[in-house]
Amino acid sequence: MLLFDRRVGPDLGADYPARDVPDWYRDAKFGVFVHWGLYSVSAWATPRLPGEHVPVELEFSHHQYAEWHANTVRIPGSPARAFHEREYGVGTSYEDLADSWTAEAFDPQGWMRLIAGCGARYVVPTAKHHDGFCLWDTATTAFSSVHRGPRRDLIAAMASAAREEGLRFGLYYSGALDWHVSDFPPIQSMTDLFTLRRNDEAFARYCFDQAMELIDGHAPDMLWNDIDWPDSAKAAGPYSLQTLFERYYERVPDGIVNDRWGVPHLGSRTREYVSEEQTSPWVWEATRGLGRSFGYNRAEDDRHLLEPAELVHLLVDTVAKNGNLLLNIGPRADGSLPESQVERLRHLGAWLDAHGGAIYGTRPWVRHAEPAGDPVRYTLAQDGTLHVIALDPAAGRLRLAEDLVEPARATASWGEGPADIDGSGQVVVPEGLRGLPAAVLRLEPRS
């Protein structure tokens, strides 16, 4: 597991601001990542089933992330190169695909209505991924959605639509890797991931200018950087990370950054396709795709995607451990959303619509679960209500932990009147809740 919060680099004398995680972020609990870019044209990566692993030497040549196509296609013998040459012909480069990207079905208002309607409180689209293709009107390069492909500022459209729906709006930016303005061989190992990147002052200024365009233009509530940042910008200076953070917080006083900058300034700590094992003392964010890729992967089908009940359990488990869930969707190149992804989002939204009180605005309890016994998760509302979230309501009964039996007899309900608790501390799950992926027992504080 790659822990970016432990990759903070040497102390170069920069003075990073002390920041608390803003309440809006702690309360939000659920956000939607959107990986949509030039990589959505090829939209292909080696599919990987849940629990399936490849040998370490094949991790990058058989990469499961479709948004990594610009790298994977350059690895000799990779399945991505074979696909690319079959689909587009020998000699067609990844960057040649830019002019075939039309985004004719892009409906930012529809996207954001769906995301808000499914219970998300914030959204984070990719402004620039590792391929270097910018989705906004930038003065730094012509390799953008304004000058190529869609011929429009996609980030501006998404920002406006998100805020119309009451969503907090964040932006993903790739600060360490930009293959369009670099001349390295393809990345083929975890060592390459951090060594085959530019650290010179010119590139650091390029990244600074791009990030400031996004900050000045859109005041993103969250700056979600990926991998690292050019090392030459990690000491104090006019185009340093210190200056970037200062200007960001001036523009967005309740803004938040993540932990992938390679410096000792952490906002939310990220965990990609993994979870914390226990309740964390810090606020963190679990992120993953509905399948095994963030960008849309045409080679995936329902076998590769989380089941609806798994999504609910993932959210509940993350929140109980002091985390937020940033769940990714990957639109097709034309801007349409795969129905299999939409269905899962709506399923999660329906559960949140009925049980959001056990999620939004909550904090961790003294423990997140029981080490042995019935599968449950706990969350604590700010009014003192304890939520016992049963992950197997189909069992029909829930055995309460010993320290909860007496409080439960006085205060427990399933939201529809008092709960039925027998002498051994077992609670009957009402028939109407047994078909849910999770049911919520409320233990309200005694007056």
Q: Using one digit for the tens of pLDDT, what is the confidence trace for 421-436?
A: 998 889 999 999 999 9
3-class state of residue 169 by DSSP? strand
366 located within any domain = no
29 located within any domain = yes
**How many domains are contained in the chain?**
2
Examine the pLDDT at 349 and tell me if it is beyond 90. yes
* Alpha helices (runs of H) in 255-338, residue ranges in sequence order: 308-320
Same domain, 280 and 337: yes
Examine the pLDDT at 366 and tell me if it is beyond 90. yes
371 located within any domain = no
Examine the pLDDT at 120 and tell me if it is beyond 70. yes
Q: Using one digit for the tens of pLDDT, what is the confidence trace for 38-51?
A: 999 999 999 999 88
Examine the pLDDT at 323 and tell me if it is beyond 80. yes
Same domain, 337 and 424: no
198 located within any domain = yes
Same domain, 393 and 438: yes
Q: What is the DSSP-derived secondary structure letter of residue 194? A: H
Same domain, 348 and 430: no
Q: Quickly state the pLDDT bin for 181 (edges 50, 70, 90).
A: very high
Q: Quickly state the pLDDT bin for 9 (edges 50, 70, 90).
A: confident
CA 160, CA 376: separation in Å to the nearest integer? 39
Q: What is the CATH number of the domain that holds 94?
A: 3.20.20.80
Strands 426-428 and 397-399: antiparallel
Same domain, 352 and 381: no
Same domain, 383 and 350: no
b vs e for 92-109, b when ≥16 Cβ sit within 10 Å of the residue's Cβ? eebbebbeebebeebebe
pLDDT, residue 424, reads: 87
Same domain, 209 and 320: yes
Among 300, 324, 358, give the residue marking a domain's end.
358
Q: Using one digit for the tens of pLDDT, what is the confidence trace for 194-209?
A: 999 999 999 999 999 9
370 located within any domain = no
315 located within any domain = yes
394 located within any domain = yes
Neighbouring C-beta atoms of residue 139, cutoff 10 Å: 9
Q: Using one digit for the tens of pLDDT, what is the confidence trace for 199-251?
A: 999 999 999 999 999 999 999 999 999 999 999 999 999 999 999 999 999 99
Q: Quickly state the pLDDT bin for 10 (edges 50, 70, 90).
A: confident
309 located within any domain = yes
Same domain, 282 and 398: no
Its sign, for the CA torsion 134, 112, 292, 84, is negative
Domain hosting 384: range is 376-443
Structure pTM?
A: 0.97
Among 301, 325, 358, give the residue marking a domain's end.
358
DSSP characters for 53-98? ---GGGTTTT-S-GGGHHHHTTSTT-HHHHHHHHHH-TT--SGGGG
Same domain, 399 and 320: no
Mean pLDDT, the chain, rounded, equals: 96
Examine the pLDDT at 302 and tell me if it is beyond 90. yes
Q: How confident is the model over 320-327, as a mean pLDDT? A: 98
Among 328, 358, 388, give the residue marking a domain's end.
358
Q: Which two tokens stand for residue 140?
A: 């730094």
Same domain, 285 and 412: no
Q: How confident is the model over 139-166, as a mean pLDDT? A: 98
Alpha carbon of 91 to those of 77, 87, 116, 131, 307: distances in Å? Answer: 15, 11, 43, 18, 40
Same domain, 395 and 340: no
pLDDT, residue 1, reads: 66
Q: How confident is the model over 331-343, as a mean pLDDT? A: 98
Examine the pLDDT at 416 and tell me if it is beyond 80. no
Burial classification of residue 409, based on how many CB atoms lie within 10 Å of its CB (0-12 exposed, 13-18 middle, 19 or more buried): middle
Q: How confident is the model over 148-170, as a mean pLDDT? A: 98
Same domain, 348 and 393: no
pLDDT, residue 153, reads: 98
